[in-house]
């Protein structure tokens, strides 16, 4: 009986699932993909924070695992919310791809005036460095965003560089260095979620990359301590234990940034608590301006 690997139906999600299936086949484990439609895929006309944040891409796949319709699900790890249903585990974390954002644009950088993105983090970071730019809402899969760029709706759109690479797309634009534009926690990482038990242990044994798991776990601990999900503009990036993190105001005019080295989850927890303390005013302000309760 092949393992049933769940995935969303976008081109990027399918490419990620196919990578996992290929790795399993290389290890002699038969598997097949099962496409699950999520709430985040069907509601695309509004910002993420208005329809439930990160979890909108994950809940339907979680339910499918718990109900036994699939054995595991493949996710962009940055989409997985901090609070997880009982009985589910992140059984495997693949080696990290590029964590960076990529600004896709065909015209000269100096002539850019309008950017499409619905990420509060990306908007704040771009406005911090380019306050004269106009940042306009844009959601949808990679194909949709690139199509709207070609149609002239924006001068540029921001995508995860890893997503472009996984799809084999070569586009003109500018890589936004993660040291300057700190990415979302876990960006560039593929994770496999499953039920606790034998299948999860098998997937962990075959697929898990300990170094990547360590770094993204530190990022996730910091994210959990800071709170805010996709509502508060925040970037957290750890590489080989060296971490950079920042919280920004929604308009990009103010920023709190910390940097350091972590060797344990306790270090990450303390780091996150200090960041939250220093940026508490920005976090509260973001919730108030977005009409949300912390």
Q: Residue 51: what pLDDT?
A: 41
Give domain status of residue 249, yes or no.
no
Q: What phi, psi does 248 have (nearest 5°)?
A: -125, 155
Q: Would you place residue 49 in the very low, low, confident or very high pLDDT band (cuts 50, 70, 90)?
A: very low
Q: Residue 140: what pLDDT?
A: 86
CA–CA distances in Å: residue 133 to residues 115, 124, 289:
7, 11, 21
Give domain status of residue 287, yes or no.
no
Q: Residue 203: what pLDDT?
A: 93
192-203 confidence digits (pLDDT tens): 999 998 888 999
Give domain status of residue 119, yes or no.
yes
State how beta strands 242-248 and 234-239 pair. Answer: antiparallel
Mean local confidence (pLDDT), 255-278: 97
Q: Would you place residue 207 in the very low, low, confident or very high pLDDT band (cuts 50, 70, 90)?
A: very high
228: left (phi over 0), alpha (psi -120 to 50) or beta: left
DSSP assignment string, 265-277 = HHHHHHHHHHHHH
What pTM did the predictor assign? Answer: 0.89
Q: Which of 41, 62, 63, 79 is catalytic?
A: 79
* Closest to 188 measured CA to CA, from 102, 275, 273: 102
Give domain status of residue 171, yes or no.
yes
Q: Residue 294: what pLDDT?
A: 55
Instruction: Give the contacts of 141 (CB within 8 A, at least 6 positions apart).
Output: 10, 11, 12
Q: Let me know if 18 is a catalytic residue.
A: no
What percentage of the chain has pLDDT greater than the value 90? 81
DSSP state of 50: G
Top pLDDT among 1 and 23 is at 23
Whether pLDDT at 106 is above 60: yes
Whether pLDDT at 44 is above 70: no
Distance, in Å, from the CA atom of 252 to the CA atom of 187, rounded to the nearest integer, reads: 21
Whether pLDDT at 269 is above 90: yes
Q: Which structure tokens are listed for 249? A: 């105001």
Give domain status of residue 224, yes or no.
no
230-263 confidence digits (pLDDT tens): 678 999 999 999 999 999 999 999 999 999 999 9
Give domain status of residue 164, yes or no.
yes
Q: Which structure tokens are listed for 198? A: 């034998």
Distance, in Å, from the CA atom of 181 to the CA atom of 288, rounded to the nearest integer, reads: 25
Count of structural domains, the chain: 1
Q: Residue 193: what pLDDT?
A: 96
Top pLDDT among 293 and 28 is at 28
Q: Would you place residue 206 in the very low, low, confident or very high pLDDT band (cuts 50, 70, 90)?
A: very high
Give domain status of residue 107, yes or no.
yes
Give domain status of residue 163, yes or no.
yes
112-171 confidence digits (pLDDT tens): 999 999 999 999 999 999 999 999 999 888 999 999 999 999 999 999 999 999 999 999
Distance, in Å, from the CA atom of 192 to the CA atom of 6, rounded to the nearest integer, reads: 9
CATH of the domain at 159: 3.40.190.10
Helix, strand, or coil (residue 233): coil
Range of the domain at 114: 101-176
Q: Residue 52: what pLDDT?
A: 47
- Signed CA dihedral, 224, 95, 260, 255: sign only: negative
Mean local confidence (pLDDT), 91-104: 98
């Amino acid at each position: 009986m092949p393992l049933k690997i769940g995935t969303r139906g976008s081109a990027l999600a399918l490419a990620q699932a196919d990578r996992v299936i290929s790795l399993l086949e290389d290890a002699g484990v038969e598997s097949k993909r099962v496409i699950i439609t999520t709430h985040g895929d069907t509601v695309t006309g509004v910002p993420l924070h208005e329809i439930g944040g990160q979890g909108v891409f994950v809940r339907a796949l979680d339910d499918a695992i718990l109900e036994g319709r699939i054995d595991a699900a493949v996710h962009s790890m940055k989409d997985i919310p901090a609070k997880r249903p009982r009985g589910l585990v992140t059984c495997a974390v693949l080696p990290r791809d590029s964590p960076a954002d990529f600004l896709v644009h065909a015209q000269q950088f100096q002539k850019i005036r309008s950017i499409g993105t619905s990420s509060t983090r990306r908007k704040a970071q771009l406005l911090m460095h380019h306050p004269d730019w106009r940042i306009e809402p844009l959601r949808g899969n990679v194909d949709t965003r690139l199509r709207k760029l070609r149609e002239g709706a924006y001068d540029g759109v921001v995508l995860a560089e890893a997503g472009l690479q996984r799809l084999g797309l070569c586009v003109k634009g500018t890589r936004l260095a993660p040291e300057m534009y700190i990415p979302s926690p876990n960006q560039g990482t593929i994770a496999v979620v499953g039920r606790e038990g034998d299948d999860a242990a098998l997937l962990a044994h075959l697929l898990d990359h300990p170094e990547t798991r360590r770094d993204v776990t530190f990022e996730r601990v910091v994210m959990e301590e800071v709170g805010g999900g996709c509502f508060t503009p925040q970037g957290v990036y750890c590489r080989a234990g060296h971490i950079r993190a920042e919280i920004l105001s929604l308009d990009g005019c103010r920023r709190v940034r910390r940097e350091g080295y972590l060797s344990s989850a306790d270090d990450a927890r303390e780091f996150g608590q200090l960041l939250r303390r220093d940026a508490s005013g920005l976090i509260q302000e973001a919730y108030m301006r977005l009409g949300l309760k912390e």
